[in-house]
Each structure stands twice: as C-alpha cells, then as structure tokens.
Structure 1
Amino acid sequence: MEIMSTYNSKCESLKFYTYLCQNIGSDEVVKIRRLAFTILDLGQSFGHKTITSGSKGEGLDLKGSDLDIMALCPFFKVYESEKEVVLDGLTIPLVMVTDETHPCFTQLCRLNHHGVYNLWDLCFKEIPLWQKHPLGYMLSSEQYQLLIMSLAGLKLAELKLPSLAKTHGPCLTSFDDQLDKVVCLKCDQWLFQTQPWIRRPRTAWPSPEIISKIISCGVLFVPIGCKGSANENLEWRISFSVAEKFLIYSFNHTQFLCYGLLKILLKEIVEKHEDLKGLLCSYFLKTLMFWMSEETDPNLWRPDNMIPCFMACLQRLLYCVRYSILLHFFISDNNFFYSRFNAMNKKKLETILSNLYERGINCFASSDTLKDYQSQYYKVTHLLTRLNFKTFELFVDLSNLKKIHILYHCLHHSRTGSCQSLFALYLSKSCWFVPHASNYLYTCYNSENKHQYSKYKYDLSHLLIGVHSDAVTGWLTLASYFYVKKNYVASLRLINYALQKYTDEKIFTGSGFTKYELTFIQKHVLNLMKTEKLYSVLRSLRIETLTFGPKSSIIPQELQLDVTKSRTCYSSLPFAYFLGFLCNYHLHDITSYRRYLQQLILTKTKDSIHVNLYRVNTAIMCGVAHQLIGEAYFAKGLFQEAARQDKYNFTSAATRLSRLT
C-alpha cells in the first residue's frame, strides 16, 4: 500500500509538473526568455551598461511580471575602505560608511571636496548632491534620485518617449508598471560584511563555481535608505541583483517552478485581500527559495517530487510569518520580518497561508493562471503557445553596427538550435537599421556615384536579410526603402506581397507591453506547426512593429517630421496601406490610391489591439494622405484627433495641425 501511495504521489507530481511547464514555461522556454534579455545586455557602451533583472529577466512571464533594468552610473565608483581607492581620473571615488546604518545599508562618503567634485556641483548646482556630515561629505541618495529624475525627464522629452513616468522606491517606473529602471552605483569588490556567506555550511548548492562568479561581480548600490532611519535620505541600499540572477539561473527547473508558484500564490491569491497587499513581496519569496535550496539535498528537486517540494516551500513561508523571521540571504544580520507585521495582519496572513497549505495544490483553484488544473484539461500544444513573443521585441536601437557583429558572432558560436534561432531573429531584425548606420559609413568618403552605388548595394543586402525576421514587417521595410528610391512599382509589389501574408493566424508582437489572448486559429496553427523548427515558426507567424530610427533614410519623406529626434513605430497593416497610397499617388493612379486610403481609414476605426501611440500615428498617416489630395478639412480633423490623444506631444500631430491652420 505504501509503495502504491508513493507511486500515485509521483504520478501526480509529474502530471502537475507537465501542467506547470505548459502554463509557466518549460525549461527550454525559460532559457529562451533569459537568452533574449541577455542579448539586450550585450554590446552596451561604458556609459550605458545595463543589467536586466526582475521576473522577466529571471525567465518568468506571469501576469503582472515586470522587467527591471539596472543601469550602472559611469561617474562614481564605490570602495569599501579608503585604502582600496584607485584614482583613475574618470570616476569619483566613494567610500562606504556603515557606522550608523542598518545591515544592508550604507552611506557613501567622498574623499575630499576639491577638483572634479566642484565641477560636478557646478553642472548640477540646482540639486545639491552632497550633504555635510561629521564623517565627511555624503552623497545624498534622495538628491541623486531627484537628479536622475530630472535627467530622465530631459531625455524622454528629447526622445519623445513616455516610458518612465513615476518613481517606485529607487526606480523610475513606466505608466503600466511593467518596467522599472534604476541607475545604481557599483563596487567591484565583494564586501567584508558578506564574507560569512562564502564560508557558510551548505549541502551542495550553490556550487563553488557559482560562488566564485558571484564574488567576482562585486555588488551594486541603489538610491534608497532604510525606512525610518535618522539619515534615510543619505543612505544607500546594498543590492545583490547580479548575484541573485546567477543563483536563479542555477536553479533546476523544479526549483524554478516552485519559485513561480510562490509568486502566483502571492499575487493571485494572498493579495486579493486588499489589507495584505504589500505585506509580502516577490523579493521575500526569492530569499526564501535561496534558503530552501541551500539547506536541502539538490536531488530532492525533481519533477516526480514537484508537489512535495512546493508544499515544503509553502510550509517554510508559513513558519517565517508565524515566527517573524526571514533573514537576508547574503547578510543574515538583516531580518526582513522584524517589526514587519502587526498583530492583526500577521494573524490574518498566518490563517490564510495555513488554510492554503491544508488544501495542497488545490489552493490554486482560485488562481487565474492555474485554476484549470483540477479540470484535468491539458492543452496538447507546443512550447510556443506559452512563449511570450514580446520577448523578441528589441528595447534598444540596433543601428549600432557593433551590435550586429556581436549577434553575428553569437549566431555562429551557438551550441543549441534554440540559441541559433534566437540570435538569427535578432540579427535579421537588426539589419532593418543598417541604412541608418551606413549613412555615416559612406558619407565619410566622397559622394561619387560609385560610393552611392556601394551604399545602395550595402543597404539593400541587409534589408533583404531583414525580411527573414518576421512574416510581414521586414518586407514592408524593404518596400519603404524602394519608395524612398522612387521605385514605386517595386514598392507596390512588395506591399501587396506583405498584405497577402497578413492573415488571421499571424500574431502581432509589437504592442509594447500589452498582451492579448491568442485566438482559436492562432493556437490551432501553432499546434499544427509544433514539429517545425523554432526559427521557422517565429519567422512565419510573427508580425513585428515597423520601426524607423532617428533621421531615418528609409522612411517616406511625408513622415520625416516624426523621426527628427527619436525612433518612431507604426502598426504594419495601416503603414502598408499608407505606403500603397503614396506609391499610387505618385503614379497618378487615382482609383488605386483612393482604394488604399479607404483601407487605411478602416484600419484606424477597427484598431483594438494596438497601443495609443500607434493609433495616433495611424491617424497622422490618414491626415497626411487627405492633405496630399487637397482634402484639408478631413486632414485637420484627423490631426486634431491625433493631437488630443497625444497628451505628451510625442508625435508630429500638433506641429502638423499648426502648419495646416
């Protein structure tokens, strides 16, 4: 009987594990997600070095998952003591002062008040970064954050991007709470106060190799102090984000799924109680998983032990709440749960967690993500149905030829088919931006015909590679190039070919962070293609955003006003109709350009997926078309509509309206 019970338990665990792979992500899908964000960290220049973290950077793509971007400030370098300081003439050295701070926090003191510091003060005199203290001049985390906000505001105004709009702790946060960015400082050395972590007794996790990597990466500092501290405005929190990313990546898939389950439990069940929101956070769950992994035999984290592993994690969380103890993984002097709860919310949280534990995996019956498990309905779909295609949308301008060379190198040295597929997609899309970079490459020489011809061949060859990035948009980019070259007939052929490929099973992946459910036909086609190679599926089913870089040389002249300073994005279908209108307008084919204009107007009225900025750009294209054919009244109405929607003046709508009136 005991053997049969064990067998049934293992079968149920394996079934639950398979279900989680479909709904949270298989091991392969998680690796692809991570690889996609790792690519974003490649090729960054010194002044723009970034590290992706947060749920998405870790490989999770759950409801409410966010992306954290940690940008390293190039102007400061932190040292643990004055004797370690290296004066390089490029950075301002800061020394840690922890005499008056809580564990995991520090003040940052500069060595003197001369030279480069005075120049820094002069540049930002309206924001006093330094505050006098008995121990020296401290860099104020509060004033530093104000400076970053100020600089971010100037940058966003210049680029016409509404991405980062508010603060959340030390971060700048997007309107939809999907993106957090923090500009942090770095210390290249592993701190003395974290030395006990290296020597701490453990079973087998993390491995000596992972520990060595973590030590070599040093630590970061984010601009936020310990809440309630007397010098809160001067304190900086020590961040181990890089180390934590190494640890998460070293989880086996059972460990990773347990981590995902804890996050679902928190976000979709516990936090349905409004009075418990914010009491626990994802970072606490991550810390708990680190302790569990360090203290248990790695051989226990197996697919056929999935349910017991998760229940052990939930039991540990209940214990931590009950006894108000959850120690920081690297600096164990810091107890996250010390004075965290009052009697009332602690009792309620303990009761909820206890009830959930008693229900076993049935506790997810009220979860949006996992509620259908007990119905025993398992979708026989390929891993791609759970893959968030937005992962492949680039967040950076790939007009930098250096990055293209990096992608090319990675493609030819990838060890797995999935890696090759992902790098091939990135490489193909990056080729869209080559004409922008080649403007400089070829204007460095004289403008004789042979150089112009060389540039033409160079640009065309890369744009031809770009057609393999997705089903439609690469072709439209090439069509736009031919339009700019006044080859309207060739452009029309490409437009019509792209429109033929714009069918119901295609999946639009360019609407910012907005998600939408796949339709029945999209899921059906994905299932039919489950035996195809990853690259083939993504290339044939995805439709990307059409993107033009600043001062693009391949965008129609009629839209140049929108790319004077920043890149601009268009939905593929309305852009195709607008480009078709332009070609026929220049060919003096009135019947055809009227037909394309009518289709363009219909896309504007039916548009329900795309984000607001795309709708504004579609309205602008409609207005430009009416303006070209002398229908100023309709153009004015469309520009007015676009200007009303464009609250932050990111597009050319207001400028076009003023010129028209």
Structure 2
Amino acid sequence: MDFSRNVETGFQHLCESVFVRLCQIVGTSVQVAFRRETKEIYEMVQRRVAENEDVIEMQSGSIREGFRLEGSDFDYMYWYNDHRVIWDMSQSEYYYTENKTLILSDSSESPPGFTLLELLTPSRYRQVQSACVPKNYRLFISSSLFRQQTQKHDYPGSREHGPCESGEVLGRLEYDFAQCLACDFWPPSASSWINRCHSWPDRRVVDDIIRNGCHFVPIGNPIGLHEHEEWRISFSVAEHKLVNTMNHCQFLTYGLLKIFLKEVIDKQSAETNKLLCSYHMKTAVFWVIQQNVVPLWCPQNLLVGFWVCFKLLLKWVYKGVCPNFFIPQNNLFLTKIHGSAQRNLFLQLHGLYEKGLVCLLQSPSIRSYITDVLYNPRLSICTNEGRMKSECEYDVELFSEIDGNGSLAPQNLDRCIKCLQTLELMIGLPLTQYQVVTLQKITASILQNTSFTLHNMYKNTDLNKQMYIADRMACHMLKLAAKFGFIFDMMYIAIYYYKALRYRDGLSITEIIKVKLAQPGLMYNRYVDSERYTEAVGGQSWSTKMRQAVAHDITLNNYGCYIDELTTEKESALQNKRSELFIPLFVMLHFVEFLCYRHIDTTLAQAALEELQVLVRHDQGQYVSILYRDISWEILGICQQMTGNLQAALFSYQKSLTQYPWNGIHTASQMRIQDLHTTDMVE
C-alpha cells in the first residue's frame, strides 16, 4: 500500500514539475490571459470602426491563441469587408446588395471541408474579378488565381505556401498571410458538431461560435475534381474560441504536444519530418476534451492528458485518418500521411509509445525537470503560478503586448471621430483589467492622430480663429494622451510643437523626456533593471507605471503628416502598403532636438546630430531595434543632408537600403540618393 502511494505521489510530483516547466516556456495563466485579451480588445475596436470598404485584419495561429514559443508563426487573415459568402440564396435577404458583393458556396462536387465559390454580384476589386473562371454559364472564383492576384510579396524571400504568403523576417520571425473570404453563417456540413457539444464547450460558447460563421481560404483539395477552383472552409475564429475555453492545464497539454512534436517527433527521421503539424496536435486536444476521456485536468494529472492525446495521434496515424474537429468526414491526413511514410511514422511513434513517458526525456526543454524528480522523488514542487514570475517580468510582457496592440491608423478626421465615439461607448462594457489598460493606450493613440489631423487641416489656411481653436484642441488632446499613456507618448507633444514652429516649447518637452529616460528604473522595450524598476514603481498601478517608468518606440500614422521632413518616407511606406512608420524613441528624440535647435542654436543642433550619429552607428540593438534600422539610417541621412554633409548623407541612405525593409521606405531612400546624384551635389 505504501509502495502504491509512493508511486502515485512520485507521478504527481513528475506532473507538477512538468507543469512548472511549461509555465516557464508557454506562460502562466496570467500571461496567457493578457496576451489574448489585449489582442481581443484591439480587434474589437478595429471591427467597430471598420467601414464597409475596408480590408479586415485578424491575427490567427498559435500567437493569437496565447503562445509565445520560439519559432511561433505570425499568422494573419485578411478579407474584404464588403464581400460575403452565403450557403443558399435565401440568406441574401440579410444584405443590402448595393454595397455588398455576394458569393454563393456550392459544395455539391467538392470533398468534405471544401467548396466552390460562385460570384453572384460584381466585385469592385480587380483581384476578385480577375480570378473568376466561367463554368456552366456561372462565374466561379478560382482559388489559385485569387492567390496569385492577392499575394503582395512585400517582404524579401516571401513565397507561396498552401493558401498563404509565407516567409521569414531576418531569419527569425516566420509569417503566414492569408487573404480569404468571410461568411456570417455556420456551414451546414458542420452542423453535426453542434449536436456533439454536450459536455464541451458549453452552450454559450457554441452559440457564439455559430454566430461568428466561418472563412474560406484559397486552397483546393489536391484529389478533388476542382483543385484549382476549390476553397477550404476555415474555422480559425471557432478554434480561437475553443482554445480560450480550455483551462490552463489543458492549454499547457496542447503546448507540451507542440513542443514534443518539434523536439522529439520531428527529429526521428528526414522522411517523416513535418508530416504531423501543430494543427493535428490541436485537433487531438479538442477531441480528447470533448470526449471527456480525462476525468480531471489539473497540474497533478497533466501527463495523463498528454498521454491520452498521444495515444489518439498514434491511433490516427495507424488508421491514416485524422478527422477534422468540425467536419469529421474531412480527413486531415488524406493527402499527406499514407503509404510508406505512414508506416514509418507509425513505427516511430509506436517506438516512443513503448518507452512510455520516458520518451519525454528526448525533449531538451523538458528533460531536466523530469530527471530532477526521478533523482529526488521527495522534491517539493510549488505550482502556485503567482510565485513563478516576478512583478517586473509580468510587467515587461504586459506592456509589450499593450504597446503592440495600442495603435490605430485612422485615415482622416471622420475616422478619428468615429474611433473616439467607439472608444467612448466601449468604456461601459464589462472589460477585463488588461483590456481596460489596453483601451487606455488605444485612446491615447487616437487622440494623437486626431491632434495632428486637425493641425494639418488648418495650418495652410487664413482662418486664424479656426487655427487657434484647432491648436488649442490639439494641444489639449496631446497632453491628455500623455497623462494616461507611456513616457514616449510625450514625444508626440514635442513633435507637434516643432510642427507648430514652437521650437523652444518642443525642446522643453524633449528635456523632460530625457530626464525620464535617464531614470535607473526605466523599462525600455524589454530592457530593464528589475531591482531598480521594482524600487521605483513596484506595487503601483499599471497606469502609474506606464506614465513614469515605461517607454517603447514611436509609431507615426502614414495617413497623416507628423514631420514634413519625413513626407517622402511616408509616401514610400504607403506605396508599399505600410500604414505606419516605426521609429526608435531615442532616434526620434535626437531628430526632433536637431530640427528644433536648427532654428535656435546651430552648435546645439550639431551636438544633437552627433548624438544621433553615435546612436545609429554603434547601438547593438538596445535602443535601435534591428527591424527599425532602415528608418534610423534614413533619418540620420536627412539630418546630414540638411547640414550640407552630402557624402555622409549618401552613405547613410545607402546603409538604409541594406537594412531589412520593415518600414517600406526603400523607394524613398532610392529617390534621395537619385536626387543627390542628379543635382551633381555629390562628387
């Protein structure tokens, strides 16, 4: 009896140890919550302010689900807001066809999970009209032609991968962009899923999923009759909602399967590498949770859930059938796992199965946490998530997520006003604490956009009274934004003062910013001295921390005009489909100082330029992100050209062209170089 109890205790300790390790790799429940919720509130605002003619953006994939694993893709889906797919003609009555393009799904000749899409009403997009092919006096949108028409290849090395445009940024960040079509109705072929939902998810979640419909991504079934015309039904939104309903132990089990796939299964052989993917892992977790095979999902039982999922995968590979969670008739293995590859993959997985949970020792990320328990079975393990991360560690990631989801780029004053009205209405919603602080940052961003839009409307008019009123309103909004934004939000006030020819006022703001940035407890992006940060603002509200001790980089809306000297860069970025310029805060600080001092003191202007030059040339990534080096070298070149140092300016523009084109300003760099040459100003 004591032996059984010891074995059981040892197993629980093993599960707890892996749970702790997964919280370190995948994240605690708190981290996962604010990753999801900051993105959710951002997308909620986007949807509410979207116009009929807009293209809607939605993040999908593992990062959207709350993972931040090394190698996680940045997946985005895009669709035309004025295009909708319907399943039968009766659904057309829900739309005003004068401003909606309707598309009819016809799955009568397609395998489960796929369909043909017939264009019922004309599209205003050339990409859609050009992708149409006639068939039996009807126009169908060809998925392969649609991919060709819509994939932009804005980033170096991008390629077509399934329905997506894929690539890597600097060999580190992988991305998948999928242009798709939206449907407001749940697919009839997935109706059986609704009836299966007895224990999980609950009825409220099921109803929410059904209300949100589905999407169609441009890829056909290779063994179907119409591979190049067919589209695949995508349940990305439904999957996000299902993942969000998992408890943290279930989510960590999903994370462990992803890690096990990457570090163990994919290392077995070159032939079977990449046959299984993350989507198969997620599908297995969905089925296991819904079938209620694991009686209790908790830290002490974590490896039980993992093993049940692994056995289900083994069964699927043996049979060559992985049923889609929403449309089981759609076999996800159909075109990939068969023949000798299937046999070899099964043998490899079965070999791991025979080893039992010891097979986890092949995972470098997990191994040491298992051996610690095996060598010390009486080891005491704390699974209290609150003690796993410090306040500073949580703040670093939270503020990074808020910054990444806190900026909108409205195109004109009407859009700015609509954003402000939307934000006002959202204040009364039942928001989480993370969503409230994210909404606070979004509000600051819209106030800043509105300020510069107002100034640009009246700066070249003779309407002095209106100019005065606009200036007063703009200044008030910028100061208000700085009160509940980050330290760097003060930078927009300095930019505005320079634009309004109030150079000394602008410099007084840059001096305040410099004092704040010199604080030993400053959190700049992810760089921070945790002890000093905690001493300075530990235990205070997030709003106080943001205002007093946290800074990130600057974003400028390319639909407006913030600094006239960057007009060429703004136009280049817009041509390359970039709605914002991303500029390192310290680069912008020295840039504005230089611009203001040129009108007051040329010696101090030269000093600001020298500081900028040292920063751009010698920073190792702490203050000038590698992604923003294109604009940093460009700004340095602009300043050098303004002082007459044309050779140095030419060198800086050329250096800008050699950087990764994150901001899409390479056209501007080329124009500036050409201008230097054509005017014979450079020998």
TM-score, reference length from structure 1? 0.85
Q: Is the 8 A contact 2:18 2:370 kept in 1?
A: no
The correspondence of residues 514-533 of structure 1 with structure 2, limited to 5 A, is 522-524=529-531, 531-533=539-541
Residue 109 to residue 498, structure 1, CA distance change in 2 (3 Å): same
Aligned residue runs from structure 1 range 91-240, under 5 A? 91-110=100-119, 117=122, 128-134=130-136, 136-149=138-151, 152=152, 162=155, 165-173=158-166, 175-176=168-169, 178-200=174-196, 204-240=199-235
Equivalent in the alignment of 2:376: none
- Change in Cα spacing, 1:398 to 1:469, as seen in structure 2 (3 Å) is farther
Question: Counterpart of 2:278?
Answer: 282
Between the aligned partners of 1:587 and 1:425, the Cα distance in structure 2 is 34
Q: Is the 8 A contact 1:292 1:313 kept in 2?
A: yes
Aligned pairs (5 A) from 1:11-50: 11-41=13-43, 42=45, 43-46=49-52, 47-50=54-57
How many Å separate the matches in 2 of 1:420 and 1:128? Answer: 44
Q: Who is 1:452 aligned against? A: 467
- Deviation, 1:384, is 0.9
2:673 is equivalent to residue 657 of structure 1: yes
2:314 aligned residue: 318
Match for residue 634 of structure 1 among 640, 643, 648: 648
Q: 1:133 to 1:374 in 2, by over 3 A?
A: same
Query: Which residue in the other structure is 2:377 paired with?
Result: none
Q: Which residue of 1 aligns with 2:248?
A: 253
Q: Does residue 401 of structure 2 align to residue 391 of structure 1?
A: yes
For residues 174 and 313 of structure 1, the distance between their equivalents in structure 2, rounded to whole angstroms, comes to 31
Secondary structure of the residue aligned to 2:115 is: strand
The answer (yes or no) to whether the contact 1:429–1:469 under 8 Å persists in 2 is: no
Alpha-carbon distance in 1 for matches of 2:484, 2:549: 10
Spell out, residue by residue over 1:351-406, the C-alpha distance to the aligned partner (whole angstroms, 9 max, x if none): 54445556666655555655653586996524617836543314642564223443
In terms of mean alpha carbon deviation, does 219-228 or 471-480 score higher?
Answer: 471-480
1:427 alignment partner AA: T
Contact 1:470-1:544 at 8 Å conserved across structures: no
Contact persistence 2:194–2:206 (CA under 8 A): yes
Check 1:164–1:487 CA distance in 2 against 1; reply closer, same or farther (3 A cut): farther
Identity of aligned residues (%): 24
Moved more, 524-533 or 405-414: 524-533
CA deviation after TM superposition for structure 1 residue 537, in Å:
4.2
- Number of the residue aligned with 1:429: 445
Corresponding residue of 2:594: 581
Which residues of structure 2 form unaligned runs of 5+?
373-380, 382-386, 678-683
**When the two structures are aligned, how many residues end up with a matched partner?**
632
Q: Report the 3-state secondary structure (helix = DSSP H, G, I; strand = E; otherwise coil) of the residue aligned with 2:140.
A: strand
Normalized against structure 2, the TM-score is what? 0.82
Change (3 A) 1:192 1:417: closer
Q: Does 1:544 align with 2:559?
A: no
Q: How far apart are the structure 2 equivalents of 1:431 and 1:163?
A: 34
**Deviation of 1:535 (Å):** 4.1
Letter in 1 for 2:146: Y
Per-residue deviation at 1:506? 4.4
Change (3 A) 1:468 1:297: farther
Change over 3 Å in CA distance of 1:578–1:372 after alignment to 2: farther
Cα distance in 2, alignment partners of residues 455 and 184 from structure 1 = 41
Structure 1 position 438 matched with structure 2 position 442: no
After TM superposition, give the deviation of residue 525 of structure 1 in Å: 5.0
Alignment-mate amino acid for residue 601 of structure 2: H
Distance across 1 between alignment mates of 2:288 and 2:396: 28
Aligned-partner SS, 1:630 = coil
Structure 1, unpaired ranges of 5+: 157-161, 510-517
Alignment-mate amino acid for residue 397 of structure 2: L
Partner of 2:98: 89
AA aligned to 1:571 is P
Task: Return closer, same or farther for 1:274/1:660 CA change in 2, 3 Å cut-off.
Answer: same
Structure 1 position 608, deviation (Å): 2.9
Which stretch of the first structure deviates more once superposed, 642-651 or 262-271? 642-651
- Gap change, CA 1:298 and 1:249, over 3 Å in 2: farther
- Equivalent position to 1:606, from 595, 613, 618: 618
| Alignment partner, residue 330 of structure 2 | 334
Matched, 1:616 2:633: no
| Contact 1:93–1:110 (CA under 8 A) maintained in structure 2 | yes
Between the aligned partners of 1:332 and 1:219, the Cα distance in structure 2 is 16
CA deviations on 1:259-294 (whole Å, 9 max, x unpaired) are: 111112223333345443331112111111110110
Match of 1:485 among 500, 503, 508: 500
